[in-house]
Amino acid sequence: MSVRSSSEETSEDRSPWGRPSVLLSGAFLLALVLLGVVVAVTGGGGGSSGRRGSTPTTAARQATPAAAASPRGCTLPVGSQTVPSSSPPQAQWGTVGSMQVPQNPGVYGPERSDGPWETCFAHSPSGALLAAMNFYAEGTAASPSAVLEHLAVNVTAADTTGGGLDDNGPVQLAGYRYDSYSPGQARLTIVLQGPEGKLAGVVTVMRWNGSDWRYVAPADGTPSAEVLPDLTGYVQWSAF
């Protein structure tokens, strides 16, 4: 019978990646950074899990200044109300911060790109999905306070602390699950992948504010996430 050292036991017991589920406490982006710390310590590098054999073409986008800080004036048509629950919507992969993200500026959004801010997504299930994924990518391009100020609602002062999403290791999108949708609100689980293919599904709520989708910060400051062994039950969607 093998015996773990006290240091090994402490490290494993504290690691959220070693638990079947985990409630991420503290500031939203800071909590995800802590996941990155654990993954980075367990193995260096950003190697992919090898689930995909090809890499989609990356769409390079020029930043086009927004007409104003407010998303008022977004002009994308509403489009299809079909929920992409079994396959991802048509999109190309662009780069925001250090992450690859799906974008379709003329159909689902973002219609506007101003520095790190990707805004004006279609009032549709696919628009909400792309808005959620771009929200995470913006966590690698700006501070938590700036990201939440620009792209979130229901924000408290405690939510605005912490570092960038990728401060302690590379993070990429791996897939998603659509949990529910109404014209006013979308609830999804977005799967993020850290080094060595470690996966975490993070519950993500997006709210329509009359002209664009915004991330809803959890009222208690504790977004929930589940450590995943694989993408079973989720739609795989990644640029690797």
Instruction: Record the pTM.
Output: 0.73
Is 117:66 a contact under the CB 8 Å cutoff?
A: yes
Task: Tell me the range of 10-14, 68-72, 235-239 where mean pLDDT is highest.
Answer: 235-239
Alpha helices in 69-183 (DSSP H): 125-138, 144-151
Confidence category of residue 33, pLDDT binned at 50, 70, 90: very low
Predicted pLDDT of residue 4: 41
Q: Give the helix, strand, coil percentages of the chain, each rounded to 5.
A: 25, 25, 50
Coil/strand/helix, residue 228: strand
Kind of pairing between the strands at 213-216 and 152-153: parallel
Report the pLDDT value the prediction gives residue 91, as an integer from 0 to 100: 97
* pLDDT band at residue 7 under the 50/70/90 scheme: very low
pLDDT tens for 51-108 read 322 233 333 333 333 333 344 579 999 999 999 999 999 999 999 999 999 999 999 9
User: For residue 110, with 0-12 CB atoms within 10 Å meaning exposed, 13-18 middle and 19 or more buried, which class applies?
Assistant: buried
Segment 128-138 mean pLDDT: 96
